[in-house]
Amino acid sequence: MANFLKAGCKRLFQMALTLWCVFTISWLLMRHVPGGPFSSEKKLPPAIQRNIEARYHMDEPKIQQYYEQLKSTLRLDLGPSYKLEDFTVNEIIAQGFPVSVSLGVFALVFAIALGTTAGVISATARYTAWDYSFMLAATLGIALPNFVLASLAIILFVFVLDWFPAAGWGSLSQLVLPAVCLGAPYAGYIARLTRTGMLEVLGLDYIRTAYAKGLSSQRVILRHALRGAILPVVSYLGPATANILVGSVVVERVFALPGMGSHFIEAALQRDYTLSMGMILVYTLLLVSMNALVDVSYALIDPRVKPQ
């Protein structure tokens, strides 16, 4: 137990360190942009310019400004958006976050469900047509960049076959296509990992024992073998979640979903620095906490793994 606590503390410290690094890099970039937020539009009289800068602490030494902004960020106040009127960064994130997260979760669930099923079938029916076609599909899924896949899927399923609505958000049918496009490469990887893991495990003694006890092959595969074979998949889920978040930026843009990703791209293109920075921090937080979660679940599934 003490071990767990120590590992947890170390982990938390590392997460904080990462967030701080990201904050500092972004802050440095942001503050060295020529012209602040108030100098881009019309030329203000110098006295008023000074007043405004004093109001927003922009006349103070840089280190003081850094400190102030760090403090307000720690209070979870990310400030107003530079470009979107009447919105604070917090509000924009609050709007986009649920969309992005539900898209990501759907994609991940799809990837895991399809990937493990395909992997198990491939491993048990090794060297059959099933195996080959699943593995070919997996390789194809991995090599296809998700924006290529999404573009082709829109043409085929939306415009030619007219099965799904083109864009928008709200109903389940609008979620299917983006989630599938986002999840496809991960389904491919997971299928490969599951197949390799299953093939390794199926040759072990305890599987033979299970068969010898007279268990049905369905029970042996699903209860005994899969549990041992799933470990590489679990450790892959950390980076996969991270990449799904990154990928959602593109998919949201292609399908015009109102998630955080589309806001992030818009913010970057519009040079809305506060919004960009807020997005970066939220994404970093999501990423590091996902990685930590995966590590914990890894330790729970496999008793041999010691928390570090």
Give the residues lining the site for another protein (CB under 8 A).
14-15, 17-18, 21-22, 25-26, 29-30, 32-35, 139-140, 142-145, 147-148, 151-152, 154-155, 158-160, 166, 242, 245-246, 249-250, 253-254, 264-265, 268-269, 271, 276-277, 279-280, 283-284, 287-288, 291
CB of 16 to another protein, least distance (A): 11
- Kindly tell me which of 76 and 160 has the beta carbon lying closer to another protein: 160
Residues 227/290, Cβ–Cβ less than 8 Å: no
CA torsion, ordered 286, 288, 292, 295, to nearest 10 deg: 110
- Kindly tell me which of 107 and 210 has the beta carbon lying closer to another protein: 107
CB of 179 to another protein, least distance (A): 19
User: How many angstroms from the chain centroid is the CA of residue 9?
Assistant: 24
CB of 119 to another protein, least distance (A): 17
CB of 146 to another protein, least distance (A): 9
- Kindly tell me which of 4 and 13 has the beta carbon lying closer to another protein: 13
- Kindly tell me which of 121 and 277 has the beta carbon lying closer to another protein: 277
Buried/exposed 19-45: b ≥16 CB within 10 Å, e otherwise: beebbeebbeeeeeeeebbbeeeeeee
- Kindly tell me which of 245 and 257 has the beta carbon lying closer to another protein: 245
Q: 134, exposed or middle or buried, with CB in 10 Å at 0-12, 13-18, 19+?
A: buried
In the chain, the amino acid numbered 212 is A
CB of 47 to another protein, least distance (A): 25
Residues 218/195, Cβ–Cβ less than 8 Å: no
CB of 227 to another protein, least distance (A): 27
- Kindly tell me which of 15 and 176 has the beta carbon lying closer to another protein: 15
Buried/exposed 256-273: b ≥16 CB within 10 Å, e otherwise: ebbbbbbbbbbbeeeebb
The tokens for 37 are: 């937020």
State whether residue 308 is helix, strand or coil: coil
